[in-house]
Amino acid sequence: MSRLLSTWRTLPLTSRLGLAVVVVLCAVAILAPWLAPYDPSERVARPFAHPSLDHPLGADDAGHDLLSVLILGARPSLLVGGIAAVVATAVGSTVGLTAGYLRGVVDTVLMRVVDVVLSLPVVPLTLVIGVLAGPGLPTQIVVISLALWAPMARELRAQVLSVRERDHILALRAVGARHGYVLIRHVVPTVAVLVVPQLVLAVKSAVLLEATLAFLGLGDVSSMSWGMMLSVANSRNAFLTDAWLWWVVPPGAMIALTVLAVALASGAVERVAAGSGAARRERRTSGPRGRARLDASGRAAPSGTGEFTAEIPPEGAVTRSASPIESVRSTERGPSTELHAGASAPALLHLEGLTLRYGDGDEVGGGCREVGLELLRGEVLGLVGGSGSGKSTVASAVVGLMPAAARLQGGRILFDGIDLLELGPRERRHLLGSRIGLVPQEAQSALNPVHRVGEQIVEALLVHERLPHESARERARELLGLVGLPAERFRAYPHQLSGGQRQRVVLAIALACGPDLVVADEPTSGLDVLVQQEILELLRDLRDRLGLTMLLVTHDLPVVMQVADRLAVMHDGQVVEQGATSAVLAAPQHPCTRRLLDSLPELPDLEGASR
């Protein structure tokens, strides 16, 4: 209540005024039968009676009290407007969400339907539908909803297109989460803030359209809305006498007042919706009072100090069923370290002539050409090259998250003998996260900022494994331990972690279901040198302990030199050189490899300098 009051105080005067008028109008509509001084269907005055104390708005041609008709008219006007707006918003939002999220054929078909609806002239269309369906409130609701849903669908689709490309949504799709799950749990909450003000604006348009339809004779004569009052006044020659002053002006003024008030109130609703989203985030990020605070290393710090806050689970709350490594190993599927870099070992990942370009027609370009790579089980392959050489294109093709503009022109990606490019979306989703894990670039944006990091690991686990929630949480804590984070970090939000800690969480998500292959796209970018070193040590450690098979994409040669068994160098979309790391570094064959090596900084001879 106090939050509502404080929000009310922050609203501009016009918004407050609009909200107040909307509330009064709704109250009048609800209480109309008790507020109206007379029964509007009874003849209580002489026809065309002028306004008087008994009848402040006079009477119509049949002697009905016009004030009572006006008060009762609020009901159908607001009811039709409200219901039609809700229906239009529901249809428009569903279409916009589906088209924007699924893209492809679904998007094309739905947007062409939207284009057709938008190109139809509203008034003649409504007349045709009205004549076919017959006048009445249901017809009005259908016609108004039909006229309003299409612009909403278009607007929402644009928002969803941008939200679906956010890194944390891509990261979730990379662990194989179902479309419905990603939509409902991550996309809908983000765009809901936009839907609420749209709904309010739709009410405004719907009230106006209801009046238009009623005036055109598509209203329900048995329930006299304000639009219907105008229609009846017109047909009963109110304009030929001075009766229009009290028969036409008041309902016209009420329609104008409603539209204006709703328009003013929409600003307030937008603010409140955005505010409540922010407050929810704030509540989530600050957590309940009285929680212990942790310092950067995860130890308890005196409350009221320190940047990091996280709840410490009660002592003994976690009963460890297996060591973190055992947890991950228990889901391992193939041989690992024994076959490490063995020349005769079967390739886990095999790319043949992969050609992927961006754009269509004359605009086609970029991407990668005729890429051939082989990654053995237990091996770390470093994919290096300058900016724009095509590394990310190859990585995105392996995990199946190519940008919309990407066009596959040929080649195969064999993963454990399965051609990934031949798989349907559902089969591919089953592999992602469970057998192929992705460590995306930019851990900060790959994590959902309003969900606890532990829950994000749990989410990745539950996408593929049927586990009781508590067991999943326990596994998530073990995975945190595996990547070198204290289990207490489970309850932290991404912003409460350092860059290196976030990167570890992203790694834990990638490892959650014990994948056979991990694709790490620039896993150390944006981190300072010391943290980079820590992450590299962690990768090395995981490789040795778990026999991880990893495709490590980076432009940073020193990074791969420390972890990769073999290197593949890309330039201009092609692999120009590949071989054992030591061999490539010792005797680079291609000028690009030599340039990459030459670009490595050399430390000055400090000893010499100090002499």
Ligand X SMILES: Nc1ncnc2c1ncn2[C@@H]1O[C@H](COP(=O)(O)OP(=O)(O)OP(=O)(O)O)[C@@H](O)[C@H]1O
Q: Which residues bind ligand X (CB under 6 A)?
A: 358-359, 366-367, 385, 387-393, 403, 405, 555
Sequence-distant (≥ 6) Cβ neighbours of residue 209 within 8 angstroms: 84, 122, 126, 143, 144, 147, 148
Q: Rounded to the nearest whole angstrom, what is the least distance from the CB of residue 164 to ligand X in the complex?
A: 14
Q: Rounded to the nearest whole angstrom, what is the least distance from the CB of residue 341 to ligand X in the complex?
A: 25
The residue among 211 and 368 lying less far from ligand X, judged by its C-beta, is 368
- Distance, in Å, from the CA atom of 539 to the CA atom of 87, rounded to the nearest integer, reads 52
For 366, the enclosing helix (H) or strand (E) is: strand 365-376
Q: Rounded to the nearest whole angstrom, what is the least distance from the CB of residue 524 to ligand X in the complex?
A: 13
Write the DSSP string, 235-258: HTTGGGSTTHHHHTHHHHHHHHHH
Q: Which two tokens stand for residue 400?
A: 């199946």
The residue among 81 and 385 lying less far from ligand X, judged by its C-beta, is 385
Read off the amino acid at residue 452.
R
The residue among 383 and 463 lying less far from ligand X, judged by its C-beta, is 383
Residue found under tokens 């109309």? 32
- Distance, in Å, from the CA atom of 74 to the CA atom of 32, rounded to the nearest integer, reads 8
The residue among 391 and 475 lying less far from ligand X, judged by its C-beta, is 391
- Distance, in Å, from the CA atom of 522 to the CA atom of 560, rounded to the nearest integer, reads 10
Q: Which of 492, 77, 100 is nearest to 261 (CA)?
A: 77
The residue among 314 and 365 lying less far from ligand X, judged by its C-beta, is 365
The residue among 350 and 555 lying less far from ligand X, judged by its C-beta, is 555
**Residue 132 in 3-state DSSP?**
helix
Q: Rounded to the nearest whole angstrom, what is the least distance from the CB of residue 530 to ligand X in the complex?
A: 23
The residue among 350 and 391 lying less far from ligand X, judged by its C-beta, is 391
The residue among 221 and 405 lying less far from ligand X, judged by its C-beta, is 405
The residue among 164 and 435 lying less far from ligand X, judged by its C-beta, is 164
The residue among 249 and 404 lying less far from ligand X, judged by its C-beta, is 404
- Distance, in Å, from the CA atom of 330 to the CA atom of 543, rounded to the nearest integer, reads 16
Q: Rounded to the nearest whole angstrom, what is the least distance from the CB of residue 410 to ligand X in the complex?
A: 16
Q: Please check whether residue 529 is in contact with residue 450, taking contact to mean a CB–CB distance below 8 angstroms.
A: no
**Residue 589 in 3-state DSSP?**
coil
Q: Which of 450, 438, 434, 458 is nearest to 507 (CA)?
A: 438
Q: Rounded to the nearest whole angstrom, what is the least distance from the CB of residue 420 to ligand X in the complex?
A: 17
Report the side by side order of strands in the sheet with 418-419: 365-376, 347-358, 406-415, 418-419
Chain residue whose CB lies nearest ligand X: 366
SS (H, E, C) 206-240: HHHHHHHHHHHHHCCCCCCCHHHHHHHHHHCCHHH
Q: Which of 375, 434, 559 is nearest to 178 (CA)?
A: 434
- Distance, in Å, from the CA atom of 459 to the CA atom of 285, rounded to the nearest integer, reads 19
The residue among 164 and 391 lying less far from ligand X, judged by its C-beta, is 391
Q: Rounded to the nearest whole angstrom, what is the least distance from the CB of residue 165 to ligand X in the complex?
A: 10
Q: Rounded to the nearest whole angstrom, what is the least distance from the CB of residue 553 to ligand X in the complex?
A: 7
Q: Rounded to the nearest whole angstrom, what is the least distance from the CB of residue 106 to ligand X in the complex?
A: 21
Q: Rounded to the nearest whole angstrom, what is the least distance from the CB of residue 226 to ligand X in the complex?
A: 52
Q: Please check whether residue 370 is in contact with residue 411, taking contact to mean a CB–CB distance below 8 angstroms.
A: yes
Q: Rounded to the nearest whole angstrom, what is the least distance from the CB of residue 388 to ligand X in the complex?
A: 4
Q: Please check whether residue 222 is in contact with residue 69, taking contact to mean a CB–CB distance below 8 angstroms.
A: no
